[in-house]
Amino acid sequence: MSTVDFLAQEKVWFDKPRYDEAERRFYEHRNGSSQPSQDVGANSILQDIARARENIQKSLAGSASSSTNAADQGEFISRIRNLELENQSLHKVVEDLRAALSKLECRVTVLEKSPATVTAAPAPSVPYTNGTTVQQKTSAPVKEEDDDDDDIDLFGSDEDEEAEKLKEQRLKEYAAKKAKKPTLIAKSSILLDVKPWDDETDMAKLEECVRSVQADGLLWGTSKLVPVGYGIKKLQIACVVEDDKVGTDMLEEEITKFEDYIQSVDIAAFNKI
């Protein structure tokens, strides 16, 4: 049996797509009368929605403008209130100035009238010293001078001489006691760094040169060699000096005189004793 004969005997619906298309057209034609009415209803709904949107936009624009107007009005009112407060404060200041001016005028008038009344008094006066009149009192000093004259003893007295002798004796005793009291001597401890020229410098000779510096109030202490670098060592030596007799400048000048051995002198430490 061939394939064609087999298909001829089978019940196969080869034209189904045509029938489906015909059925679709039938239903479309049947429903075609109600579609315009549905389109009209949809258009009316769309128009209503558009009108509602326009109304909403208009209302929003009106509320925004009203809010801006209200804000402007509030700012304007606040400015007016501030101006009123400033005006009130200025009025108060002006009133205070007027009161002060009136007081000054009263004082000036009183001061202008006061010289006439003072000149009428029997006692002489000096006009206007810091805004007030000062009367000169001549009787009181004369009376004090008379009292002083009465107190003066022209012949002296033995009691005064004894008091002066006692005073001189006590002053001499105090001076002698003060001279016997030992005075404190201010001293300082100094640590010096003495640097040579190079590593070939004789450090023993360098230390001998440093210790050869002698002065009243100078006492040399211990010393040691401190490596600096590249085989070079510096001499670190301590000394005690009296501040009134020996100073650091004098020490540096005397030590740096040995130019053959010493390059420089620095103060490493300085302490009061």
The CATH code of the domain that includes 256 is: 3.30.70.60
pLDDT digits (tens, 9 = 90+) for 126-168: 444 444 444 444 444 444 444 555 555 545 556 778 888 888 8
Is 135 inside any structural domain?
no
Domain residues for 242?
187-272
Is 26 inside any structural domain?
no
Is 91 inside any structural domain?
no
pLDDT-wise least confident of 9-13, 107-111, 215-219: 9-13
Asked if residue 231 has pLDDT above 60, the reply is yes
Is 92 inside any structural domain?
no
Is 164 inside any structural domain?
no
Structural domains counted in the chain: 1
In 3D space, the residue among 228, 232, 209, 233 whose CA is nearest the CA of residue 220 turns out to be 209
pTM: predicted TM-score of the whole model, two decimal places: 0.36
H-state helical runs in 152-247: 158-180, 203-211
In 3D space, the residue among 238, 231, 227, 125 whose CA is nearest the CA of residue 190 turns out to be 238
* Alpha-carbon span 86 to 75, nearest angstrom: 17
